Structure 1
Amino acid sequence: MMLAASWTVQAAPEESTDPAAAATVATPATPAPSAKPEDLIGKKVAFIEVAGTVNIKPETILAVTRLKPGDEWTPDKVRQDLRLIYEMGTFADVTADFAAIPEGVKVIYNVKENPVLKGIVLQGNNKLPKDKLMKLMTVKTGEVLNSKTVAANLRAIEESYKAEGYILAKTGDVNFSPDGILTVRINEGIVEDIVVKGNTKSKAHVITREMRTKIGQPFNAKDARVSMQKLYNLAYFEDVNLKLLPGKQPGGTVLEVSVVEQKTGTFSIGGGYSASDGLIGIINVGDKNFRGTGDDVNIHWEFGGKASTAGNYSVSFRRPWLDRKQTSFGFTFYNMINQYTDFDSGGNEVSTYDRRYRGFDFTFGRPVNDKLSHYITLKNRWDDYKGWISGKNYETDEPYKSENYIQNNFGLTRSVIISRVLDTRDSNTNPSEGVRYSLSAEVAGLGGDFSFNKYTAEGRRYWKVGKSQVIAVRGMYGYGTGHIPEMQKYMAGGIDTLRGYRDDQFKGNRLFATTMEYRFPVAKRVMASLFTDVGNAWDSDSFEFLKDLKFGYGLGIRIVTPFGPLRLDYGFSNQGGRTHFSFGGQF
């Protein structure tokens, strides 16, 4: 008669360690009668057996156990072995029997093997392809299912989803059928609804249409970040926050979008007086989120003054979404007369005159994706010479009169412009990272007075340095052929190209311009910059590039106001210093 006991494996396995040498399986002698479990403590282990194996050799199991024949028997050592065997992952149940025998203690590990894996079925994987996920399932068909390997495989699947931005994806629903089929149900974390809060003016659909995250699709953190940036780039909101709320279905979520709106409308009124024009009034009204629809509307009107300049106006409209493919449409109508001055390369006045420009343009655009867009513009513009003020008179002075300067440079320009823009900037108003590359081709003719082609390339790049400092670089190159009138030539000089020189001081059918700026904050909504500009515009193909380049440098201030951003720069050049002021953002 022997006294025996049985233990079952604990639910929480301890950390496994390297196995010792395998024990020898032997047949024990007849057990001694009458022994209590407490009497086994301190006795030597005589024999260790494994029972219940079908496909796994006992030696494989004994290779991972710590308790060996000749060791002192203790309950802790047996419990440790139970955990080590269970952690092999190939058993559904592990127990231990032990008994006192004349030779010492006999230990029997009873195991119940998992079924043999015959197939794997993945369900619910709509965003990641089956082939990619199956490569992560390293459990092998035809072998005993290893639950430890399966658990590692499921974690690998979840990590693969997270790497793609699907942070809510889970693989908790796993079933292993008696016929050996492992079924893994993947819950990708579906967005059940999108709730918009804080939008007192903007329509809800104006916000949700900008978001890559859609109802009925799995939540993606990368898409959410892009969506936030797109909402900021609208310039309708001071703040945008996204919050995930529990959904009604298991694993589902509700995306809450909270916005803080800012003023998008502008209204300004001004005036002036001059001896030549008299009293002039100016009204400008606009809204880049008209009635909360996302439409951009602007009206500029000048009244009073002499009859020739009274009634100057421009009207612009842009609708960013015409259809679900985000086709955009915009137009501008304008009729303006202003005083314009031509300069020579030294910055001296050549001629000052009144110029009227009037016409319209229509632009259609459509994105290829969030970063790449195409645009096509039809331009119809008349430039008229309205009268001499000072300097050379293009109508009466030579050689302009005999060369038909007016007829060759003023008239109707009708053209089509096709452009392609790649934009990865983190903000289109105040970028700190990313690039913006654009290519455009303008073909003029189409019944107009001038026939020419212009090809322009521009690149911008931004680097964030330190906490809030930015290095910004821009380069432009333009190449034109044909009869390009004076008003359609490339121009360099002024706040957008060469600071320290007069506005549009250099003109030609070729353009090269590059700018580097170091930008840093000095106060809330105020940025300062140190800049250097290099470039020129010219007509001659024999242009001596390095010799004729112009250089400017200086410092500037950018102020964000309720009426929009203001720029104030002071540039130095070989022609002295010059102040430049404008409304609008920087490149």
Structure 2
Amino acid sequence: MIRTCRPRVLVAMLFLLVHLTPARYPAQAQPASPTPAQPTQPAPTQPPPAQPTPPPAEQRRVIAVEVRGNRRVSADQIMAVVTRTRVGETLTEDLLREDIRAINNLGLFADVTARTMVEAEGVRVIFVVTENPVITEVVVEGATVVPVEDVQKTLNIPQGEVLNIVRLREGTRAVQKLYEDRGYVLARVADTAIVPLEGRPDEARLRLRIAEGTIEDIRFSGLRRTRLATAMRHVQETVKGRVFNLNALNRDLQRLFDTGLFDSVRARPEPGADPDSAVVVIEVAEARTAQIGGGVGYSTTEGILGFVEYRDRNWRGLGQTFAATIERSIQSGQQRTNYELSFTEPFLDSLRTSLTLSLFSRTSLEFEYDVNTGVLASRFELQRAGSAFTFSRPLDPLTTGAVRFRSELTDIVPLQLDPTCNPTPGPCPSPAPSILSDGRVVSVALSASRDARNDRLRPTRGDRTTLSAEFALTGLGSDFGFTKYAADYQRFFPAWRQSAFVARLFVGAASGNLPLQEQFVLGGPGTVRAFPVGWARADSIVVATLEYRFSLGTIIRALGDLQGILFVDAGSAPIQPTDPKVGYGFGVAINTPVGPIRVDLAFGPRGQQTWVSLGAPF
């Protein structure tokens, strides 16, 4: 939430001075003063002075109503609002005041007075008006973020006509709303002035001065471990000296929150030293970013798994990420050790280029199935060791481009088809994969991702698009030369009570000498979940998914932190629209300090498959 406060402002207003002249009646005769008595005679008693009497009723009857002083505004327009002073009716000052007020409310006059002339038949009422000047030009000062033409159009003061104060008042409010609608909530119309033209007293220039509300300074509150320079790097649009914009500030706050360095982020503007400036105070609560963890689990591809991990997402307070992971797995009596080291520098240069380095060694148990019968054709160990470094840079507020360089050495070790087979009576079959492709892959990958979702963890609207192309080049030392293309599109449709429908389409295709370890794989938590990993491997793939995600708290309030998922998957590898593999199921997800953990239960022709994953499958 953001609280907005405005500096106290002094708004210059144009007041119209209305003069009300009382009705003028004939003077009443005063009695003559008595002649002073002679000193030798007693003074006579003096009678009380006579009181003035109002004119007879027939002299207060209105016999005519006129308008004088108008030059461009028609008398008919003025008389149309004179509704209380009517010919044939008795004149009173209260009624006269109401009509003067009504003429003033037209907004066309700088001064309005009323005169009365008593005649033998009654009273003649004359409204005397002084017109506002004719506006020859509208000058807008101080407008930098909104085009002057837009301000003039919104102000709606025509040139070549008598200035209408009522329209001017409405126009200034409309201009302020124009700024607010565009996020400039501190902007205001600071002054309006009528500047007479020299030698032309009936014409004037209208000047409008706008105070847009600039940012005097940006301050952080709540930083403990994170360095100020690190936090300021994510504040990209709210910049000192710029005009304050609420929408830009909210985007900057979202960027700060998306770093994962803070549990909460909010901001408030405070008055600056100048009445037309503000100080933006960003309040943060830092998250725990350094973690040491371990555990024991089970994976269908790696068996019983134990791991120890150290991860710091704010290494040295610079927003850098350092992670080290060691895994030890045991499956079918065989032990495997995996490790990975990674480091990310999010701000390599002033253009916010990030660099990620990784070293890894992984061994996994893989399967290959007969594409016609679905029977297990081979079991093998896939050993990968190598390194990768990735450069990424934001192309616009929603789009990020990346370049990845990868060198990976792969070794494939065939295993017994039946791990329980006893080789003593005879050899146990250990068929190799259909494409035995040991060797090194050296590749360059280009990708672009546009994320327009309203939330990174639990989005309910928007979309995300990712396009990638990878080129393995023998000239760089690769044992294989191939090209891979992939497109991934996801769309989120809001439903009731924070629930959403999610549609996804993934398409991939490759050409050249594509080794087994680089083929597209159908099956598993990221494709068609009703089939095991490796159900199909091919040079092309298509997967379509529809999910309905909802809060379980809508069913049972105590389960408000859990998210339920209903899904349907369909896909094929290679692409065969006439023979898709289909599955359906349900899942549960919960947010944890290490990210969302999700469990999916899928059903299909191969029976039931259960998947546990960290983060959403897509």
| TM superposition score category, shorter chain reference | 0.7 to 0.9
Letter in 2 for 1:253: A
- Partner letter of residue 549 of structure 1? P
Residues 165, 220 of structure 1: 8 Å contact kept: yes
Could you say which residue in structure 2 is the equivalent of 1:4? none
Q: Determine whether 1:480 maps to 2:510.
A: yes
Partner of 1:69: 87
Q: Find the counterpart in structure 2 of residue 27 from structure 1.
A: none
2:522 to 492, 495, 498: 492
Which residue number corresponds to residue 470 of structure 2? 442
> Structure 1 residues 246 and 278 mapped into 2: Cα distance closer, same or farther (>3 Å)?
closer
Structure 1 counterpart of 2:125: 107
The reply on whether 1:9 has 2:13 as its aligned counterpart is: no
Aligned to 1:533: 569
Q: Does 1:344 align with 2:370?
A: yes
**Residues 49, 278 of structure 1: CA spacing in aligned structure 2 closer, same or farther, 3 A cutoff?**
closer
The aligned counterpart of 2:536 is 506
1:101 to partner: Cα distance: 3.2
Change over 3 Å in CA distance of 1:283–1:40 after alignment to 2: farther
More displaced stretch, 484-493 vs 501-510: 501-510
Structure 2: which 5+ residue stretches go unaligned? Answer: 1-15, 30-51, 198-203, 420-427, 553-558
Q: Secondary structure at the match of 2:135?
A: coil
Aligned twin of 1:47: 64
Match of 1:315 among 319, 337, 341: 341
Other-structure match for 1:324: 350
Mapped partners of 2:19, 2:497: distance in 1? 52
CA contact (8 A) 2:322 2:344 kept: yes
The structural deviation recorded for 1:52 is 3.4
Counterpart residue identity of residue 313, structure 1: Y
Q: How does 1:369-448 map to 2 (within 5 A)?
A: 369-385=396-412, 387-391=413-417, 405-406=435-436, 409-445=437-473, 446-447=475-476, 448=478
C-alpha spacing 1:502/1:88, structure 2 compared with 1 (3 Å): same
Correspondence for 1:95: 113
SS of the residue 1:455 aligns to: strand
Report the AA paired with residue 330 of structure 1.
T
Number of residue pairs matched? 547
Correspondence 1:235-246 to 2 at 5 A: 235-246=260-271
Query: One-letter code of the match for 1:441?
Result: A
Residue 582 of structure 1 corresponds to which residue in structure 2?
613
Aligned to 2:581: 550
Cα distance, 1:222 vs. partner?
A: 2.1
Judged with a 3 Å threshold, the aligned counterparts in structure 2 of structure 1 residues 400 and 303 are, in CA distance, closer, same or farther, namely closer
Give the Å deviation of 1:398.
Answer: 10
**CA displacement, residues 282-331 of structure 1 (integer Å, 9 cap, x when unaligned):** 3211122323322222211247999x977632112222222333222222
Q: Percent identity?
A: 30
Q: 1:49 to 1:40 in 2, by over 3 A?
A: farther
Distance 1:278 1:83, change over 3 A: closer
Secondary structure, in 3 states, of the residue corresponding to 2:573? strand
Q: What TM-score do you get using the length of structure 1 for normalisation?
A: 0.85
CA RMSD of aligned residues (A): 3.3
Question: Equivalences for 1:156-171 in 2 at 5 Å?
Answer: 156-171=174-189
> Which residue is equivalent to 1:462?
492
Instruction: Work out which of the two has the higher radius of gyration on C-alpha atoms and give 1 or 2.
Output: 2
Structure 2 residue matching 1:501: 3-state secondary structure: coil
TM-score in terms of structure 2 length: 0.81
2 CA distance for matches of 1:255 and 1:416?
A: 43
Task: Tell me whether 115-124 or 507-516 shows the greater mean CA deviation.
Answer: 115-124
1:581 CA displacement: 1.0
Which one-letter code corresponds to 2:615 in the other structure?
A: G
Whether contact under 8 Å (1:376, 1:419) holds in the other structure is: yes
Equivalent pair of 1:229/1:427 in contact (CA under 8 Å): no
Moved more, 262-271 or 182-191: 262-271
- Looking at structure 2, the residues matched to 374 and 287 of structure 1 have their Cα atoms a distance apart, in angstroms, of 25
Structure 2 distance, partners of 1:169, 1:115, is 28
Q: Secondary structure at the match of 1:199?
A: coil
- List per-residue Cα deviations over 1:77-136 (Å, max 9, x = no partner): 212211221122222222223354322223232322222322221111111112222223
**Aligned residue number for residue 546 of structure 2:** 516
> Any idea what SS the aligned residue of 1:226 has?
helix
Distance 1:164 1:202 in 2: 32
Gaps of 5+ in 1: 1-6, 12-29
Q: In the TM superposition, what is the alpha-carbon distance from 1:340 to its structure 2 partner?
A: 2.8
Q: Per the alignment, do residues 544 and 322 of structure 1 end up closer, same or farther by CA in structure 2, a change over 3 Å counting?
A: closer
1:335 aligns with 2:335: no
Aligned residues of 2:541 and 2:572 also touching (Cα < 8 A): yes
CA contact (8 A) 1:421 1:438 kept: yes
Contact 2:82 2:102 in 1 (8 A): yes
Contact 1:350 1:392 in 2 (8 A): no
State the one-letter code of the partner of 1:529: I
Instruction: Indicate if the aligned counterparts of 2:417 and 2:429 stay in contact, CA closer than 8 A.
Output: no
Partner of 1:204: 228
Match of 1:471 in 2: 501
User: What's the CA shift string for 1:348-384, capped at 9, x where partnerless?
Assistant: 4322233221112222222222112222212221111
Cα deviation for residue 511 of structure 1 reads: 0.7
